[in-house]
Structure 1
Amino acid sequence: MAGLKKLEIIAYADKKFSSETGNKFTVMVNPGNYDENKQIEYDEKKALDGGNMPAYKGYKDEDLKFEFILDTTGVLVDWMNAPSPEEVRPLSETIKILETTVYTYVGDAHEPPFLSVTWGTLNYKGRLKSMNISYMLFNTEGEPLRAKITLNMLKYIDEATQSRLKNKSSPDLSHLVTVKEGDTLPALCLHIYKSAAYCAEVARINGLTGFRHLEPGLQLLFPPLSNN
């Protein structure tokens, strides 16, 4: 197991993730799974274009949740690349390193650090939302030897992306449009994408054979365009 890549958390002092605080944490045993949560918020009291579909309000904060085990009994020595159980840190010290990395204020700003979590294809940037420590095993003196850690992080989204998400007319977002009398696909493309050149692609996505005449009440999907 010596070559097994471990999940690593690195703390940064700035939202550009350019200045490391010097604090990092590598898990003993990789998580069995992790959960990414994405939500869209709708106004259930307001219908879309007079229909029964709730109106779009915006994107909610994304988060990441994962669990891992910390163990100081010596059972996980091979996973830790430690030559002997004597070199395993006390659990309280290991948890302190974790807290310093993900939870403790950074500098004079008195703000929590920005965090980068990397493991395999996971490359997540955000801040800690919550940390839960569940102690599971104790020695005869009542000192904890094993704990399950649950971290919940909020994803960091830069200001430019956040602005696009809040802008309902942005061409980077999907739009579901109900056709009204007199609407044409070129006019709708011009309104949403600022260009009528995407008519053929939108027609193909929606299964249209033509786009000059559209039936009122028809719902059309206008997806994000990669070249916008």
Structure 2
Amino acid sequence: MPDSFDLYLTAAWQTLQMVSVSALVSAIFGLALALLLVTTGPGDLYARPWLNRGVGSVVNVFRSVPFIILLVVLLPFTRLVVGTTIGVWAAVVPLSVAGIPFFARIAEVSLREVDRGLIEAVQAMGGRKRDVLWHVLLPEALPGIVSGLTITLVAMIGSSAMAGAVGAGGLGDVAIRYGYQRFDTQVMVSVLIGLVVLVSVVQTAGDVLARRLNHRQ
């Protein structure tokens, strides 16, 4: 077994890479999907019911597929995008594909909770549709969006550990190769503690940021 400190440090760095890049991709495209779902429904700003139903169906399909199955199904697409099916960057693709619809639905809930009275007030004062988006919907829903992104990050940390089982690297890979396969309980416990600490830090930071952004408190 390699030097324990270097092994854990490298694995932790790989996990952070996977999760941070995937979270960034999920935040950008997931928020865009959420805005599309919120603004294209019947009676919404850009009412396109057919588009809303189509996008909603696609989101539901990807959300319903277990990550480990999605990981395998996307292998050809992963190879096409990053040129390999193993390693950190190969894990980013399925993590992002799984994270985008997951975060989109959470962000959609936050956007739909914005007071309709504020939207109507801006429109009554002559505000354009894009003004409603940028000055009402997004600012008012921002605390909920941050909380949703925190939940997505926590889910991705768990999924990244699962991706380690198929050669993606990270803490999950260490737990499988050096813990489970070699019957080394100490390695398994060490990885578990590392994941718990990482999740706790992410959750605490997300909660603090969401509270600071919530001007209604």
Fold match, TM over 0.5? no
What TM-score do the two structures reach when normalised by structure 2? 0.28
Of structures 1 and 2, the larger Rg is shown by 1
Q: Name which structure has the greater RCO, CA cutoff 8 Å, separation 6+.
A: 2
* Greater per-residue strand proportion: 1
